Amino acid sequence: MEQILVISSILLWVFVIFNFLLTIGLIRRGNAMQMQTGIPELEDALEVGVLAPDFVAETLNGEKITLDSYADQDVAFVFVAPNCPPCIEKIPMLNDLGPKAKRVGVELVLVNMGDKLKAETFVKEYDVRLPMLIAPENGNSFKEDYKVAGTPFFCLIDKESKVQATGYFGPDWYAFTQKWMAA
């Protein structure tokens, strides 16, 4: 009987060690996959306090827009893609947030990473009521310059064209949007 207990204990420990090693392997694989998808680490994002990179984008009406178009005002760019389910899910919230942000002096602007036709379809299909810029991923450096690795992604810029916050929707986003909601 005692021999069976010893063998059972050894098998249990072998199983525990195997499970531990498997868990470590899965964590490493997950981290490797995250690196391959290009999701930036926090240190890869634009630094708070630096001058925002200039850009050229287009409105749905064909007007060329640059960073200077937002001189002397706070602006929050929200990068979206026409095939991004989390972006689509956030449109109603962003539509509600836009006028509240404007009341506190922040222009909330969507930056669509698709071409003009996809952007127009996106606006109509999801009832987008915010200003939208078009910056197709191919042939436009807006996305790379702002270090946007995925969508939805935001970048808050102040009146002096300095980056105040950047990243994915999370604690930073909700911290400053709560101020807008209170207005």
Residue with tokens 């981290």: 31
pTM of the model: 0.75
- The string of pLDDT tens digits covering residues 6-36 is 777 787 777 767 676 777 766 766 555 444 4
Q: Under DSSP, is residue 151 helix (H, G, I), strand (E, B) or coil? A: coil
- The string of pLDDT tens digits covering residues 132-151 is 999 987 778 888 899 988 89
Residue 37: pLDDT band with limits 50, 70, 90: very low
Cβ atoms 134, 57 nearer than 8 A: yes
Residue 43 reports pLDDT greater than 70: no
Paired tokens of 134: 């078009």
Angle (CA) 163-167-170 rounded to 5° is 125
Q: Which residues of 147-157 are buried (b: 16+ CB within 10 A; e: fewer)?
A: bbbebbbbbbb
- The string of pLDDT tens digits covering residues 59-117 is 999 999 999 999 999 999 999 998 899 999 999 999 999 999 999 999 999 999 888 99
Cβ atoms 158, 75 nearer than 8 A: no
Query: So what's the pLDDT on residue 145?
Result: 92
Residue among 140, 29, 22, 142 at smallest CA distance from 77: 142
Mean pLDDT value of segment 165-173: 87
Percent of the chain with pLDDT over 90: 52
Residue among 164, 151, 63, 168 at smallest CA distance from 111: 151
Q: Please enumerate in sequence order all residues whose Cβ is within 8 A of that of 18, keeping only pairs 6 or more positions apart, or say none.
A: none
Mean pLDDT of the chain: 85
Give the integer Cα–Cα distance in Å for 170 and 100: 19
Cβ atoms 180, 100 nearer than 8 A: yes
Check residues 96 and 182 and name the one with the higher pLDDT: 96
